Amino acid sequence: MTKITVINKSNHISIVQSINHYIKWINRNNRLNQSIKIIIHDAPISSYGYLSDCQVDFDNRHIYYSLYNIEEYLVAKKSNNIIVNGLEYALSEILYDLNYHIAQFYILEYEQFTHNELIQEFIDQVYYVNYHEN
């Protein structure tokens, strides 16, 4: 069965367990033609000289997610008069990122184009928006 797999290389066990439960739900309700691996770790990811929390390897179908400095998200937040505990807030940020990248793999499969075409379309749209705003 083709599915999304979570590989834990992090010390943040409760966060990874919650992510794993979510991914199991996705696997029960969605079909993929090829597997995706999500590798969760504690080391920082450097992207173009900036620290990042997520990096995608489209060729190997891997999503690397760093929980480095996650402590800044493990604080309670108030949103729309609802107080959200630190773990829920951190998970909402992490799942938002992961959903975006998982969706990219679904788009590539079902629209039948390459990740290079997806990236070029994104660059074209950013250029179009920036060019027409000025």
Residue that is written with structure tokens 């696997």 in the block: 27
Nearest residue to 98 (alpha-carbon basis) of 1, 4, 2, 11: 4
The count of domains in the chain is 1
d(CA 24, CA 11): 20
pTM of the model: 0.78
Q: Does residue 77 contact residue 89 with C-beta atoms inside 8 Å?
A: yes
Summarised one tens digit per residue, pLDDT across range 9-39 is 999 998 999 999 999 998 988 878 889 999 9
Which domain range does residue 90 map to?
4-133
